[in-house]
């Protein structure tokens, strides 16, 4: 091979390296990680599609802001709209008990997602979980509806469940950060230091209880 061939080969290889260095794979954005968290491909696809319709939410980089923005901009409006639709179906079939129950469940959904926005950060996930439970209850009620075609409510549930699950997933790390001042012990009892302090704590507790018992005995004895 002529030296120029080597040279151009070298240049091409170098360029490939430089291009790779200049365009590193971008790390996934927060919303992408949230959508992926469930581990379900179908959920992930629907989640990405939903959130990508709100460019301002795709830019958010912390979980708490994500939860509150998603609630404020997306989930609450969706919940209120769904509640309205269920109410209309309820008015159309006033004798259906399962649909009436779904109406009540959707009132809960709205109350919980609106409440979640006002909640302390560590309670957001829990409040939205109640909303999610209400959707499950509606779903179960509908199984008893044998006359009216409830496929439109089933579809509403399916959508609303996506919205609540997104907040539940995004809200879980918020709650964990707040718990952090009390770190969890990984392997309880296996480290000697932990065993020593465990013994020490129990010894203290033992002496404390003993003191209390003696005191109580004295009190009991003196009162008779």
Ligand X SMILES: *[C@@H]1O[C@H](CO)[C@@H](O)[C@H](O)[C@H]1NC(C)=O
Contact residues for ligand X, defined by CB under 6 A: 149, 151-152
Q: What is the dihedral of CA 194, 178, 51, 161, to 10 degrees?
A: 80
Nearer to ligand X, 95 or 149 (CB): 149
Q: How would you class 93 by CB atoms within 10 Å of its CB: exposed for 0-12, middle for 13-18, buried for 19 or more?
A: middle
Nearer to ligand X, 151 or 190 (CB): 151
Shortest distance (Å) from residue 152 CB to ligand X = 6
CB 35 within 8 A of CB 51: yes
Nearer to ligand X, 15 or 155 (CB): 155
Nearer to ligand X, 36 or 87 (CB): 87
Rg (CA), the chain: 29
Shortest distance (Å) from residue 150 CB to ligand X = 8
Shortest distance (Å) from residue 155 CB to ligand X = 8
Nearer to ligand X, 48 or 148 (CB): 148
List CB contacts of 123: < 8 A, sequence separation 6 or more.
Answer: 116, 175
Q: Where are the beta strands (DSSP E) in 88-128?
A: none
Shortest distance (Å) from residue 142 CB to ligand X = 12
Shortest distance (Å) from residue 159 CB to ligand X = 15
Distance CA 208, CA 118 (A): 42
Q: Closest by alpha carbon to 38, among 46, 49, 26?
A: 46
Nearer to ligand X, 148 or 178 (CB): 148
Question: Cβ–Cβ contacts within 10 Å for residue 171, how many?
Answer: 29
The upper half-sphere exposure of residue 54, i.e. CA atoms within 13 Å in the direction of its Cβ, equals: 16
Shortest distance (Å) from residue 171 CB to ligand X = 33
């Amino acid at each position: 091979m002529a030296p120029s061939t080597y040279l151009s080969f070298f240049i091409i290889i170098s360029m490939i390296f430089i291009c790779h260095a200049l365009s590193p794979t971008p790390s996934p954005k927060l919303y992408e990680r949230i959508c992926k968290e469930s581990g379900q491909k179908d959920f992930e696809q629907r989640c990405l599609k939903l959130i990508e319709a709100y460019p301002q939410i795709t830019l958010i980089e912390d979980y708490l802001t994500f939860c509150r923005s998603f609630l404020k901009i997306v989930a609450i409006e969706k919940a209120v709209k769904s509640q309205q639709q269920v109410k209309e179906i309820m008015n159309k079939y006033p004798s259906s008990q399962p649909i009436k129950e779904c109406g009540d469940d959707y009132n809960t959904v709205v109350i919980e997602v609106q409440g979640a926005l006002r909640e302390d950060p560590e309670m957001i996930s829990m409040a939205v979980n109640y909303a999610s439970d209400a959707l499950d209850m509606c779903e179960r009620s509908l199984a008893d509806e044998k006359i009216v075609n409830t496929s439109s409510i089933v579809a509403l549930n399916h959508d609303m469940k996506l919205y609540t699950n997104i907040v539940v997933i995004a809200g879980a790390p918020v709650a964990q950060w707040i718990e952090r001042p009390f770190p969890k012990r990984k392997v309880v009892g296996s480290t000697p230091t932990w065993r020593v302090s465990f013994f020490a704590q129990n010894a203290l507790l033992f002496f404390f209880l003993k003191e209390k018992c003696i005191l109580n005995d004295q009190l009991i004895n003196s009162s008779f």
